């Protein structure tokens, strides 16, 4: 899950970044409306955490702009103002959810999982493919009921592939899901992660579509 | 203090009473005089009449005759007027019934007062030499006085009845006259505690307008203070949420992290947040204290250079930032309240340091006039479009520092106002940065 955090307060942004990363997400932080719009137009994110009070404008305006571009990406609003009118404006402008500061990091993570799940059209919080079961809340994977320890990036690759079983994910698409802007990416990083993943959950589960990318093998 | 109404009532009653008393005395005296005059004239007329009627008596008339003769025309005056006719040689020729036996007066003619048999008399004498008679007509003074008394009493009774009526009327008029005051009182007593609307000055009488104006000014002052307080509370609640949110999130990260490096990072962030929160609280306290106090009194001579050295020494800063204090400032002395000036300078100093975290030079120097102080930093300055808003409480511009609260300039400005000085901000023209001048003359 790659998440964009639009928040001008460095301490909170840092906490959200580290906290969500601990939960298995890849997080990028920006501090202004302009940077947020630039980020959304260049990178595919699973969800956006958007603060209303930004130095160069209102987060709600950013939200309207995003929605005007027919972008369906889930957006969670953060606000220090607990006035109802703010939330109503935010939700009407296209926000999927909101949190009032000071918020709980676990709740933020849970709400992000919920809005991404809804946007994927799933009802079950777990992703299931054959005997493989991925629980995003616990960041855990079981095969035939047995817990399989995965690294953060391996987990991210597996979630990306299982979100839409059968859909081919290109290498660059996976890379985008795996690495933030600040991460150094090795040229064969995705192949390495796929290789490790196959070793852990079974060689036949992930299919390589030559020239296009990877997908979960149909059962 | 006695109520205004009672006071006015007593004054009015006193004044009216005095005038009333004067009028009554005047009436008494003048009617007495008028009556005396009328009665005297009557005496005179009666005497002349008798003298002209006394034709028949002649020189030869006997006393006996005279005694038996009645004076029919004079019978109407029987009770009040007494008449004697004497011959010039001193015999009593005739007298009205009820007239005393003794001679009424020795005077040959004109008015005179006499006491006869213990009674006071007013007598008019007229001598007719041709007829050889002297006519004396007398009036009992006691009777006269009773007449005057009756007359004045007749006038006095209605006047006395008028006094309480007048009092009642004055009281009612006062009540009516004081009604505008009652309206204001009513308006004020029935107000809710937080109703600071001004009293309608147009509807108040001009005498109380200075009072209502003062009251309205007080209302405005209280309202402003209350609004400041309300704003401060609201903004404080709002502004404290951000550092608190940071604290909470970082603490959660620290608890959840297995990696010691991540945990350490989170703890360090917590320290930053705590610093920021405590600074914010300190500033909130400072601003509420500044709001609460009026014009500052306790002024003392302060050597500016020493004060800045002291503040700079006590303020934490990254090593990369240099602070210099112009030597000429050591010779500059301001007469001001120390606490206010220190608050202003400390906040400006902290602001300058916060806005250039990666090194630079904070320079305290003399202002454009040798009596003023200036401080220059090498931070990003303030975008021109943000200039008007800068110094508004909790306003944080585009180039805000991570630990700022948006209160520093407000505090400096307010503290300087309290000591009659002023703050002028401008972007530096020689290099990037902000120049703040503290002007002694407000």
User: pLDDT value at position A5?
Assistant: 94
Note the pLDDT tens digit of each residue in B42-57.
Answer: 888 888 888 888 765 5
Among B276, B292, B308, the domain boundary falls at: B292
Instruction: Report the mean per-residue pLDDT for chain A.
Output: 86
Among A120, A143, A166, the domain boundary falls at: A120
Closest chain B CA to residue A20: B253
The more confidently predicted of residues A81 and B412 is B412
Among A98, A120, A142, the domain boundary falls at: A120
Distance from CA of A13 to the nearest CA of B (A): 8
Interface probe, candidates A5, A13, A14, A86, chain B, greatest B C-beta count within 10 A: A14
Same domain as A107, residue A159? no
User: For A170-190, what is the mean pLDDT?
Assistant: 82
Note the pLDDT tens digit of each residue in B203-227.
Answer: 778 888 888 889 889 888 888 888 8
- Give the Cα separation of A100 and A104 in Å (integer): 9
Same domain as B364, residue B286? no
Helix and strand element counts for chain A (H, E): 8, 13
Assess whether pLDDT exceeds 80 at residue B236: no
Q: Quick check: is B206 in a domain?
A: yes
Paired tokens of A161: 């592939």
Judged by average pLDDT, the poorest of A112-121, A202-211, B190-199, B363-372 is B190-199
The closest CB to that of A19, out of B242, B249, B276, belongs to: B249
Same domain as B271, residue B310? no
User: For B119-148, what is the mean pLDDT?
Assistant: 84
CATH code for the domain of B342: 3.30.565.10
Note the pLDDT tens digit of each residue in B148-163.
Answer: 788 878 878 888 888 8
CATH code for the domain of A107: 3.40.50.2300
Q: Quick check: is B171 in a domain?
A: no
Q: Quick check: is B104 in a domain?
A: yes
CATH code for the domain of B76: 3.30.450.20
Same domain as A205, residue A169? yes
Same domain as A79, residue A41? yes
Same domain as B263, residue B150? no
Same domain as B256, residue B223? yes
User: For A69-88, what is the mean pLDDT?
Assistant: 80
**Chain B residues near residue A29 by CB distance under 8 angstroms:** none
Same domain as A111, residue A12? yes
Same domain as B426, residue B321? yes
Sheet holding B119-128, edge to edge: B92-95, B81-87, B133-140, B119-128, B110-116
Q: Quick check: is B174 in a domain?
A: no
Same domain as A134, residue A64? no
Note the pLDDT tens digit of each residue in B240-260.
Answer: 777 888 888 899 889 888 889
The closest CB to that of A102, out of B245, B266, B397, belongs to: B245
Same domain as B117, residue B220? no
Distance from CA of B259 to the nearest CA of A (A): 10
> Which residues pair with residue B334 across a beta bridge?
B302
Assess whether pLDDT exceeds 80 at residue A81: no
pTM here?
0.56
Give the gyration radius of chain B's Cα atoms. 53
Q: Quick check: is B352 in a domain?
A: yes
Taking CB atoms and an 8 Å limit, are A104 and B248 in contact across chains? Answer: yes
Environment class of B72 (CB within 10 Å of its CB; exposed 0-12, middle 13-18, buried 19+)? exposed
Q: Quick check: is B16 in a domain?
A: yes
**Chain A residues near residue B249 by CB distance under 8 angstroms:** 11-12, 15-16, 19, 102-103, 105
Same domain as A114, residue A6? yes
User: For B102-107, what is the mean pLDDT?
Assistant: 77
Same domain as A110, residue A54? yes
Same domain as B18, residue B160? yes
Interface probe, candidates B234, B236, B243, B253, chain A, greatest A C-beta count within 10 A: B253
Same domain as A137, residue A116? no
Reported in sequence order, the residue ranges of chain A that DSSP labels E, i.e. its strands, are 2-6, 26-30, 47-51, 53-54, 57-58, 75-79, 97-100, 127-129, 132-135, 140-143, 146-148, 206-209, 213-216
Instruction: Report the mean per-residue pLDDT for chain B.
Output: 81
Query: How open is the CA angle B319-B321-B326, to the nearest 5 degrees?
Result: 125
Could you count the other beta carbons within 10 Å of the beta carbon of residue B94?
24
User: pLDDT value at position A83?
Assistant: 67
Note the pLDDT tens digit of each residue in A91-101.
Answer: 999 999 998 88
Among B224, B259, B292, the domain boundary falls at: B292
Closest chain A CA to residue B270: A11
Taking CB atoms and an 8 Å limit, are B241 and A11 in contact across chains? Answer: no
The more confidently predicted of residues A148 and B105 is A148
Q: Per the structure, how many domains does chain A have?
A: 2
Interface probe, candidates B242, B398, B405, chain A, greatest A C-beta count within 10 A: B242
Would you say the ipTM is above 0.85?
A: no
The more confidently predicted of residues A197 and B131 is A197
Same domain as A195, residue A156? yes
Distance from CA of A105 to the nearest CA of B (A): 6
Paired tokens of A92: 């009407």
Q: Quick check: is B329 in a domain?
A: yes
Taking CB atoms and an 8 Å limit, are A9 and B273 in contact across chains? Answer: no
The closest CB to that of A55, out of B249, B253, B398, belongs to: B398
Same domain as A194, residue A175? yes
Give me the domain span that covers residue A62: 2-120
The closest CB to that of A12, out of B238, B242, B262, belongs to: B242
Interface of A to B at Cβ within 8 Å reads 9-12, 14-16, 18-19, 22, 55-56, 80-81, 101-106
Same domain as B126, residue B41? yes
Among A120, A149, A167, the domain boundary falls at: A120
User: pLDDT value at position B121?
Assistant: 85
Distance from CA of B420 to the nearest CA of A (A): 33
Taking CB atoms and an 8 Å limit, are B246 and A12 in contact across chains? Answer: yes
The closest CB to that of B252, out of A10, A19, A101, belongs to: A19
Closest chain B CA to residue A7: B242
Could you count the other beta carbons within 10 Å of the beta carbon of residue B220?
12
Same domain as A31, residue A113? yes
Give me the domain span that covers residue B88: 4-165
Closest chain B CA to residue A19: B253
Same domain as A82, residue A180? no
Same domain as B230, residue B365? no
- Give the Cα separation of A160 and A167 in Å (integer): 10
Same domain as B268, residue B249? yes
Among B242, B272, B292, the domain boundary falls at: B292
- Give the number of A-B residue pairs with CB atoms closer than 8 Å: 74
Q: Which residues contact B260 (CB under 8 A, 6 or more apart)?
A: none
Same domain as B88, residue B29? yes
User: pLDDT value at position B57?
Assistant: 56
The more confidently predicted of residues B426 and B99 is B426
Same domain as B249, residue B312? no
- Give the Cα separation of B187 and B382 in Å (integer): 49
Judged by average pLDDT, the poorest of A109-113, B42-46, B73-77 is B73-77
Q: Quick check: is B67 in a domain?
A: yes
Distance from CA of B364 to the nearest CA of A (A): 29
Interface probe, candidates A5, A7, A8, A9, chain B, greatest B C-beta count within 10 A: A9
User: pLDDT value at position A112?
Assistant: 93
Distance from CA of B269 to the nearest CA of A (A): 6
Residue B118's φ and ψ, nearest 5 degrees, are 80, 5
pLDDT band of residue B72 (cuts 50, 70, 90) is very low
Closest chain B CA to residue A83: B238
Share of chain A above pLDDT 70, in %: 98
Q: Per the structure, how many domains does chain B have?
A: 3
CATH code for the domain of A134: 1.10.10.10
């Amino acid at each position: 899950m790659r998440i964009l955090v639009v928040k001008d307060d460095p301490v909170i942004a840092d906490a959200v970044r580290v906290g969500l990363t601990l939960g298995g997400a890849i997080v990028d932080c920006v501090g202004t409306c302009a940077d947020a719009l630039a980020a959304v137009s260049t990178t595919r994110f699973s969800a956006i955490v958007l603060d209303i009070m930004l130095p160069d404008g209102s987060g709600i305006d950013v939200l309207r702009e995003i929605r005007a571009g027919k972008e369906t990406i889930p957006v969670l609003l953060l606000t220090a103002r607990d006035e109802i009118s703010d939330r109503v404006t935010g939700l009407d402008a296209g926000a999927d959810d909101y949190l009032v500061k000071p918020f709980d990091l676990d709740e933020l993570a849970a709400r992000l999982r919920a809005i991404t799940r809804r946007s994927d059209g799933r009802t079950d919080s777990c992703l299931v493919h054959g005997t493989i079961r991925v629980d995003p809340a616990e960041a855990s994977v079981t095969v035939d009921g047995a817990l399989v320890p995965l690294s953060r990036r391996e987990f991210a690759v597996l979630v990306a592939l299982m979100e839409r079983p059968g859909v081919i994910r290109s290498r660059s698409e996976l890379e985008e899901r795996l690495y933030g802007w600040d991460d150094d990416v090795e040229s064969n990083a995705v192949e390495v992660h796929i290789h490790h993943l196959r070793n852990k959950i079974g060689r036949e589960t992930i299919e390589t579509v030559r020239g296009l990318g990877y997908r979960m093998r149909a059962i | 203090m006695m109520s205004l109404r009672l006071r006015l009532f007593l004054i009015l009653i006193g004044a009216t009473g005095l005038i009333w008393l004067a009028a009554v005395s005047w009436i008494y005296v003048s009617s007495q005089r008028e009556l005396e005059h009328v009665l005297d004239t009557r005496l005179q007329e009666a005497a002349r009449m008798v003298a002209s009627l006394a034709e028949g008596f002649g020189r030869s008339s006997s006393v006996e005759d005279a005694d038996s003769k009645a004076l029919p025309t004079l019978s109407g005056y029987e009770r009040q007027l007494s008449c004697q006719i004497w011959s010039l040689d001193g015999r009593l020729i005739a007298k009205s019934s009820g007239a005393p036996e003794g001679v009424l007066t020795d005077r040959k003619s004109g008015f005179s007062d006499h006491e006869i048999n213990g009674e006071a008399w007013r007598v008019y004498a007229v001598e007719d030499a041709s007829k050889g008679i002297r006519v004396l007509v007398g009036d009992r003074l006691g009777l006269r006085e009773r007449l005057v008394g009756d007359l004045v009493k007749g006038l006095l009774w209605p006047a006395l009845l008028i006094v309480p009526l007048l009092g009642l009327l004055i009281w009612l008029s006062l009540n009516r006259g004081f009604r505008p005051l009652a309206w204001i009182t009513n308006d004020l007593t029935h107000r809710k505690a937080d109703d600071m609307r001004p009293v309608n000055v147009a509807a108040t009488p001009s005498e109380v307008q200075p009072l209502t104006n003062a009251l309205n000014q007080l209302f405005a002052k209280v309202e402003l203070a209350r609004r400041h307080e309300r704003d401060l509370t609201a903004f404080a609640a709002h502004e404290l949420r951000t550092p608190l949110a940071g604290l909470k999130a970082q603490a959660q990260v620290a608890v959840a992290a297995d990696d010691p490096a991540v945990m350490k990072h989170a703890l360090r962030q917590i320290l930053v947040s705590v610093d920021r929160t405590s600074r914010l609280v300190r500033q909130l306290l400072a601003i509420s204290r500044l709001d609460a106090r009026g014009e500052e009194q306790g002024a003392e001579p302060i050597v500016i250079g020493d004060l800045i050295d002291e503040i700079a020494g006590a303020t934490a800063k990254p090593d990369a930032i240099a602070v210099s204090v112009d030597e000429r400032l050591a010779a500059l002395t301001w007469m001001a309240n120390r606490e206010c000036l220190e608050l202003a300078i400390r906040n400006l100093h902290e602001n300058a340091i916060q806005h250039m975290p990666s090194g630079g030079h904070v320079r305290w120097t003399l202002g454009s006039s040798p009596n003023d102080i200036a401080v220059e930093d090498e931070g990003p300055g303030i975008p021109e479009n943000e200039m008007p808003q800068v110094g508004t409480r909790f306003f944080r511009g585009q180039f805000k520092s991570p630990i700022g609260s948006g209160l520093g300039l407000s505090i400096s400005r307010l503290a300087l106002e309290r000591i009659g000085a002023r703050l002028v901000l401008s972007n530096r023209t020689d290099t990037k940065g902000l120049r703040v001048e503290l002007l002694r003359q407000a």
